[in-house]
């Protein structure tokens, strides 16, 4: 039988070079978050379907990979068989939904507030397309148990520090609040039951422009006065860097505490940014997920034309698992997008340990002779690859340089050992 050796559609085999970069990025982000006092947890890949499909995951619930019952529980001959008869559990589609279960499960042992890091694979049955995978890594921080805007401030500071530590500059953190969005919709006299639809259309601003949003709102038969007022405010407030007093003018009934909080977030982060990145209001920022209840944010890298992370406050989600609501707020870095960008700009991992190719004749006797020297080099922190001498040394050295070796030594018996720099010719 001819066996297909490709990974399944939408999944990837990762080469050593790719894994190296991913490890570097993961460790850089992880260390930044740990320095900010966050603690890492892990949850399993499989969760029960009752829980995964309980309505918290929005559209993602349609993309769950479902796992079959096993043994006696699987009865395929049952009349009028339905999917839930054969399905036992599913693969997680994000890290936030399992986090709420973890928190509800372990609340009594956890510090309060709970500042938490999660790194892990998630699975979604998306239609495979360039840059979109069925298994990908998410990388989240969340704070549970803090009502104050200080939670959002810590999250934005930690995430922007992680991006700075990865060498990114001039990115832009856009902030808004679901409460301001609701006030904006009220100010324009949209009917309150259709706020959701208005926000979904407004969210398309990036893709279809203000004219496009206007057209689609009118096509949905919203009152032209409402549409005009909304478009006017957005146009006015995205043309330049806006201040909190400009928002106050445009939305005179906006809740004072919301504006004060947002302004604290903006000023505090700006003071810490050292002009290396920007933070700004964006009244048109919506973010897709339905569960946000307050502040929302997104990081944008203009050079790479896309969002590289985002998050916000979701104070009502844990309450669905526990009897009480618990304030919660999170920021997710788009790990796969960050990796793509770094690969596109041919990023070189800094400060890598030297890697020496120790070339010898492949004989047992020689192997035993060189071991003490090799052990010494490794104890000094160097990576040492034992490689057997090949006929064409030039070709061999090129291959070793490609594999990431920085130095080599060509071991002949009774010669003094010499380690030379390796450069690809």
Determine if 375 is a binding residue for a second copy (CB under 8 A): yes
DSSP state string for 66-117: EEE--GGG--TTSTT--HHHHEEEEE-S-SHHHHHHHHHHHGGGS-SSEEEE
Determine if 369 is a binding residue for a second copy (CB under 8 A): no
CB 64 within 8 A of CB 91: yes
Count Cβ neighbours within 10 Å for each residue of 45-82 and write b for 16 or more, e otherwise. Answer: bebebebbbeebbeebbebbebeeeeeeeeeeeeeeee
Contact residue for a second copy among 381, 394, 414, 421 (CB under 8 A): 381
Determine if 382 is a binding residue for a second copy (CB under 8 A): yes
- Residue 78 vs 169, nearer CB to a second copy: 78
Count Cβ neighbours within 10 Å for each residue of 389-419 and write b for 16 or more, e otherwise. Answer: eeeeeeebbeebbeebbbbbbbbeeeeeeeb
Torsion of CA 411, 417, 419, 424, to 10 degrees: -30
282 closest CA partner among 247, 331, 334: 247
Residues 221-280 interacting with a second copy (rule: CB under 8 A): 264, 268, 271-272
Residues 305-344 interacting with a second copy (rule: CB under 8 A): 320-321
By CB atoms closer than 10 A (0-12, 13-18, 19+), residue 115 is: buried
Residues 144-173 interacting with a second copy (rule: CB under 8 A): 148-150, 153-154, 157
Residues 278-297 interacting with a second copy (rule: CB under 8 A): none
The 3-class SS string of 164-180 reads: HHCCCCCCEEEEEEHHH
Supply 373's token pair.
């020297």
* First and final C-alpha spacing in the chain: 42
Please tell me whether the peptide bond between 104 and the residue prior to it is cis, using omega within 30 degrees of 0. no
Interatomic CA distance for residues 420 and 278, integer angstroms: 45
Contact residue for a second copy among 58, 59, 74, 343 (CB under 8 A): 74
Determine if 398 is a binding residue for a second copy (CB under 8 A): no
- Residue 91 vs 227, nearer CB to a second copy: 91
Determine if 424 is a binding residue for a second copy (CB under 8 A): no
Q: How far is the CB of 325 from a second copy (least distance, A)?
A: 15
- Residue 280 vs 383, nearer CB to a second copy: 383
Q: How far is the CB of 198 from a second copy (least distance, A)?
A: 31
**Residues in contact with a second copy, shown as a per-residue x/- string from 339 to 368 under the rule CB under 8 A:** --------------x-x------x-x--xx
Determine if 376 is a binding residue for a second copy (CB under 8 A): no
- Residue 4 vs 425, nearer CB to a second copy: 4
Contact residue for a second copy among 28, 45, 186, 270 (CB under 8 A): 45
Q: How far is the CB of 390 from a second copy (least distance, A)?
A: 10
Residues 86-125 interacting with a second copy (rule: CB under 8 A): 86-87, 89, 91, 101-102, 104-106, 109, 111, 113, 115-116, 121, 123, 125
Interatomic CA distance for residues 45 and 89, integer angstroms: 10
> How many CA atoms within 13 Å lie on the side-chain side of 197?
13
Residue 367's SS3 state is: helix
Contact residue for a second copy among 29, 41, 155, 279 (CB under 8 A): 41
Q: How far is the CB of 173 from a second copy (least distance, A)?
A: 16
- In degrees and rounded to multiples of 5, residue 243 shows phi and psi of -110, 170
Window of 37-45, 189-197, 343-351, 414-422 that interacts with a second copy by CB under 8 A? 37-45
Determine if 378 is a binding residue for a second copy (CB under 8 A): yes
Window of 59-67, 246-254, 277-285, 342-350 that interacts with a second copy by CB under 8 A? 59-67
Determine if 302 is a binding residue for a second copy (CB under 8 A): no
Interatomic CA distance for residues 87 and 83, integer angstroms: 6
- Residue 105 vs 249, nearer CB to a second copy: 105
């Amino acid at each position: 039988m001819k066996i297909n050796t490709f990974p399944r559609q939408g999944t990837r085999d990762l080469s050593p070079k790719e894994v190296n970069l991913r490890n570097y990025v993961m460790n850089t982000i992880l260390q930044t978050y740990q320095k900010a006092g966050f603690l890492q947890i892990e949850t399993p890949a499989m969760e029960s379907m009752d829980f995964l499909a309980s309505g918290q995951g929005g559209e993602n619930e349609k993309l769950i990979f479902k796992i079959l019952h096993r043994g006696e529980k699987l009865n395929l001959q049952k009349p009028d068989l339905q999917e839930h008869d054969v399905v036992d559990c599913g693969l997680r589609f994000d890290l936030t939904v399992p986090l709420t279960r973890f928190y509800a499960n372990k609340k009594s042992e956890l510090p309060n507030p709970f500042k938490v890091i999660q790194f892990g694979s998630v699975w979604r049955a998306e239609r495979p397309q360039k840059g979109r995978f069925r298994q990908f890594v998410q990388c989240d921080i969340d704070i549970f148990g803090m009502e104050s805007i200080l939670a959002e401030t810590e999250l934005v500071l930690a995430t922007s520090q992680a991006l700075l530590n990865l060498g990114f500059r001039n990115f832009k953190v856009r902030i808004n609040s679901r409460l301001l969005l609701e006030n904006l919709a009220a100010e324009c006299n949209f009917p309150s039951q259709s706020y959701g639809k208005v926000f979904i259309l407004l969210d398309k601003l990036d893709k279809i422009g203000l004219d496009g949003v206007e057209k689609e709102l009118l096509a949905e038969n919203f009152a032209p006065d409402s549409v005009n007022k909304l478009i006017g405010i957005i146009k006015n407030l995205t043309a330049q860097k806006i201040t909190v007093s400009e928002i106050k003018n445009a939305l005179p009934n906006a809740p004072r505490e919301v504006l004060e909080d947002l302004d604290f977030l903006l000023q505090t982060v700006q003071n810490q940014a050292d002009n290396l990145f920007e933070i700004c209001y964006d009244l048109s920022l919506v973010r897709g997920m339905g569960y946000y209840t307050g502040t929302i944010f997104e990081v944008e890298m203009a050079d790479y034309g896309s969002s590289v992370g985002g998050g916000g406050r979701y104070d009502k989600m844990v309450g669905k698992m526990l009897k009480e609501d618990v304030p919660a707020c999170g920021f997710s870095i788009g790990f796969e997008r960050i990796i793509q960008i770094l690969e596109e700009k041919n990023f070189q991992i800094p400060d890598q340990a030297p890697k020496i190719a120790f070339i010898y004749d492949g004989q047992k006797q020689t192997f035993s002779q060189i071991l003490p020297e090799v052990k010494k080099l490794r104890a000094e922190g160097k990576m040492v690859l034992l490689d057997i001498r090949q006929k064409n040394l030039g070709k061999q050295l090129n291959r070793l340089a490609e594999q990431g070796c920085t130095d080599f030594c060509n071991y002949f018996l009774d010669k003094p050992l010499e380690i030379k720099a390796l450069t690809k010719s």
